[in-house]
Chains A and B, each alone.
Chain A
Amino acid sequence: MDLTGGFGARSGGIRPCREPIGLESLHLGDEFRQLVTTLPPENAGGSFTALLELPPTQAVELLHFTDSSSSQAAVTGIGGEIAPPLHSFGGTLAFPSNSVLMERAARFSVIATEQQNGNISGETPTSSVPSNSSANLDRVKTEPAETDSSQRLISDSAIENQIPCRSQNNRNGKRKDFEKKGKSSTKKNKSSEENEKLPYVHVRARRGQATDSHSLAERARREKINARMKLLQELVPGCDKIQGTALVLDEIINHVQSLQRQVEMLSMRLAAVNPRIDFNLDTILASENGSLMDGSFNGTPMQLAWPHQAIETEQSFHHRQLPPPPTQQWPFDGLNQPVWGREEDQADGNDNSNLMAVSENVMVASANLHPNQVKMEL
């Protein structure tokens, strides 16, 4: 079997080196996981799986205890539980590494105690294991002692290791997962246990931070606000370098005020400009075709062309479809065709000159400031 082969190879590798205990735990965690994950699919099979099938409940316990990087008692319990089936099977067992398994269990119990005391480096697989079966973890857990130890062991993992699992956990529903440093007080453990049982919004506490519901809600609120402040900082130029909420708010307020003042200035400018162009736009987009076509300048092709010119400039300005009124002038397109060539030449040039010509013609047509206009433009 693959498992036996794997165990055989690894047993040879691990047994001599007992110094890197973290690595051992790493391998052990993997092996135990392999053990238990192959349990359900394989009904009949090698003696090894038969061994584990026989006490299914015990095997399930084994699964969860290994997931929680089992506590001392649990592992020794498993070791004890595995031992009887082994003995009962006795001669029928052809599994070579049973003894290896027991040794591993014993070693793992030793390691577990050491883990509780010291720092853990190779936590990645054990941490990934609990996250994968985090749903089971909650259901199986009965004793506070187990949760204590499991949390302490889980907590030693770095936050980054939890990142891929976190998104999974986030969707697990109404649970609270806590990560704390191994040296957290028992008081914190107890409060976290209580909160774990209650159905709350899923929030993850970070290292060294309080975990009661008030501070969590406070922290969530603060982070919402901080996220929005960051967006505002990006929006307002020159806010990236500033540290501190008050100063950033100052900048934001200044920016809004300056924008509003700019709008006022521009509106004043537009108001000053407006009376000039009143006739221009009005006559362009109004349906006064007759007055345009019957302008005082009859001969000049410009006269015929300027509505189209003005419309074109407006088009380039706005990039939109023309409103219905100007389309009434389109039937005149056939007449204006020879003029369009010149129009386009002019359009390629300055917009200003076009519009100035347009406005000039408008002024001429309106005949209000006619003499002045003609004088100035000419």
Chain B
Amino acid sequence: MVESLFPSIENTGESSRRKKPRISETAEAEIEARRVNEESLKRWKTNRVQQIYACKLVEALRRVRQRSSTTSNNETDKLVSGAAREIRDTADRVLAASARGTTRWSRAILASRVRAKLKKHRKAKKSTGNCKSRKGLTETNRIKLPAVERKLKILGRLVPGCRKVSVPNLLDEATDYIAALEMQVQAMEALAELLTAAAPRTTLTGT
């Protein structure tokens, strides 16, 4: 099932990239960008990467389950949402790990976990008033930037760890991030399909 999902995307990706740009001034920059990006994009489409991701994902999910299985099963909603967040974070971390640290967003995801833990400790000691005041200040100071720059900032906020990154690097990171996200979605979807098909739907319908 998984292999049937992945190869289709791989073919379309390759066909769209088969056309070579004309040798001209713009094409020189294009070739350079393509060279940089094609490697990273093809990387997310190879079967090997997908399988690595799928395996690691399964293992990580199992670990998450083991951790969450210790909690009580009474409050199903809370458990599900909490588990969902954990699963998403785990999946992101696995995705970032399979990037092997070559991209900024992957490093940011892996580092954010450490930072979040530190922040938790710090929050227990300090008050959290600073963050809010800083946010208010930036809100009032902001003038209407040109539309493209505004959107680039939004994009920078969406891609983890790319808020203050230069424009061409931001676009590079966004390209890789989108490719990685697509692979993640496919893998998780396939896994979910497999598991929901495997698990009898008795809990939903039965007692």
* Chain A residues close to B by CB (< 8 Å): 159, 163, 166-167, 204, 206, 220-221, 223-232, 234-236, 245-246, 249-250, 252-253, 255-257, 259-260, 262-264, 266-278, 280-282, 285, 317-320, 351-352, 355-356, 358-360, 369, 372-373, 376-377
Contact = CB atoms under 8 A, between A and B. Distances in A.
A277 B66 CA distance: 11
Interface centre among A159, A263, A280, A356 (most CB of B within 10 A): A263
Interface string B56-88: 001001101110110001000001110111111
A319 B3 contact: yes
Interface string B160-188: 00000001100110110111011011001
Given A231-B37, A282-B62, A319-B47, A268 B155 contact: no
B2 A317 contact: yes
Contacts of A245: 148
Contact of A253 (B2, B151, B189, B206): B151
B202 interface: yes
7 contacts: A227-B33, A231-B37, A232-B178, A234-B16, A253-B154, A268-B87, A277-B198
Interface string B84-106: 11111001100000000000000
B62 to A, nearest CB: 6
Interface residues of B, number: 78
Contacts of A276: 195, 199-200, 203
Contact of B199 (A159, A250, A273, A351): A273
A258 B94 CA distance: 20
A262 to B, nearest CB: 5
Contacts of A285: 62
Given A227-B29, A317-B54, A256 B181 contact: yes
Given A260-B181, A352-B197, A356-B198, A271 B87 contact: yes
Contacts of B155: 249, 252-253, 256
A268 B196 CA distance: 12
B25 A223 contact: yes
Nearest to B88: A267
Given A259-B181, A273-B195, 8 more contacts: A226-B29, A228-B172, A231-B171, A249-B148, A253-B158, A256-B155, A270-B84, A360-B200
Contacts of B194: 317, 351, 355
A257 B64 CA distance: 25
Contacts of B189: 266
A263 B189 CA distance: 9
B202 A372 contact: yes
B34 interface: yes
Given A225-B171, A234-B17, A352 B159 contact: no
Contacts of A278: 62, 65-66, 69
A271 B185 contact: no
Contacts of A317: 1-2, 54, 190, 194
B196 A273 contact: yes
A372 B3 CA distance: 34
A225 B167 contact: yes
Contacts of A318: 2, 51, 54-55, 58
B192 A269 contact: yes
B32 interface: yes
A213 to B, nearest CB: 16
A273 B190 CA distance: 13
Contacts of A252: 155, 174, 178
Contacts of A223: 25-26, 28-30
B110 interface: no
A319 B83 CA distance: 27
A290 to B, nearest CB: 20
